[in-house]
Amino acid sequence: MEAAAAERKANGVAGALEQYLTFMLDGEEYGVDILSVREIRGWDSATPVPNAPKHVKGVINLRGTIVPLIDLRERFNLEPLDYGPMTVVIVLNVNTEKGEKTMGIVVDAVSDVYSISPDDMRDPPDLGDSVDTHYIKGLVNVQETMVILLEIDRFLNADRLPTSSDYAAEA
């Protein structure tokens, strides 16, 4: 993370504002790079995929494309919430080793769009093995609220959506 921040500075892009779309998940505010957001839609039924991990809620038809939906609460091991008319699906373009994929994440609600300077971004504290911070790009304070910026390519990447132990093995 530090290396990434240093690289940003070295590239002289420090100070350039990046826009993040934020959403709520179990009372916390998370942000994703707005350039990776394809669309935001309401929850509609999804077709379950046989033997998929619990957080993969199934696939939907996005104008002819089959798009998998991932429940972010379950992905983060949070208490699942019943889906309702307010449940939101954010469709994201994710870069994977096999090219760009389109995936949807199920979140509680969409919150805001912030312009954030990379300089204001703080690396997440080392929380030990208990919490996987590999897919967290950084933390930022916006009007006294902490926003967790997600490294979307990372935590939706890889075919089988890796767990923290994969990253540990990698390191």
Partner 1 sequence: MSVDMSQFHQVFFEESLEGLDIMEQGLLALEPGSQDLDTIGAIFRAAHSIKGGSGTFGFSEVAEFTHILETLLDEIRDGQRLLTGDAINLFLQSVDCLRAMFDALQTESPLDMESAHALNKQFQAMLNGEAVTVDTGMGSEPVPTPATAADSKGQSGVRGWVVTFKPDLDLLRTGNEPVRMFRELEVFGEVTARCDLSKLPSLGTLTPEECYLSWTLEIVTDEALESIKEVFEWVEDESDLTYAALGDHDSPDQATEVLQPAPAAIEPLDAAPAPALVDDASRTQAAAAVVKANSGKKADTSIRVSTDKIDALINMVGELVITQSMLGTLGESFAMANLHKLQQGLEQLEHNTRELQESVMRIRMLPISFTFNRFPRLVRDMSQAMGKKIELIMDGEGTELDKTVMEKIGDPLVHLVRNSLDHGIEMPQDRLDAGKPETGQIKLNAFHQGGSIVIEISDDGKGLDADAILAKARRNGLVGPDQELSSNQIHELIFEAGLSTAAAVTDVSGRGVGMDVVRKNINELGGGIEIESAKGVGTTMRVRLPLTLAILDGQLVRVGTHTYIFPIINIIESLQVKTEQINQIAGGAEVMRLRDEYIPVVRLYDVFSITADSTRLEDGLVVVLEFDNEKVAIAVDDLLSQQQVVIKSLETNYEKVDGVSGATILGDGTVAMILDVQSLIRMAGVRQSHIQRTISL
Long-range contacts (CB closer than 8 Å, 24 or more residues apart) made by 155-160: 155/75, 156/70, 156/92, 156/94, 156/96, 156/101, 156/103, 156/105, 157/94, 157/95, 157/96, 157/97, 158/96, 158/97, 159/96, 159/98, 160/53
> Closest approach of Cβ 28 to partner 1, in Å?
27
Which residue is listed with tokens 């590239």?
11
In the numeric block, the tokens 């954030």 are attached to: 116
Is the CB of residue 108 less than 8 Å from the CB of residue 81? yes
Q: Is-contact 37 91, C-beta < 8 A? A: yes
Q: Does 97 bind partner 1 (CB under 8 A)?
A: no
Q: Total residues at the site for partner 1 (CB under 8 A)? A: 23
Q: Which of residues 66-85 bind partner 1 (CB under 8 A)?
A: 66-68
Determine, following the binding rule CB under 8 A, whether residue 51 of this chain makes contact with partner 1.
yes
Q: To the nearest whole angstrom, how small is the minimum distance from the Cβ of residue 35 to partner 1? A: 18
Q: Which residue, 65 or 77, has its beta carbon nearer to partner 1?
A: 65
Find the binder of partner 1 among 52, 110, 139, 142 (CB under 8 A): 52
**CB closer to partner 1, 56 vs 116:** 56
Does residue 102 interact with partner 1 by CB under 8 A? yes
User: Where along the sequence are the contacts to partner 1 (CB under 8 A)?
Assistant: 45-52, 56, 58-61, 64-68, 101-103, 159-160
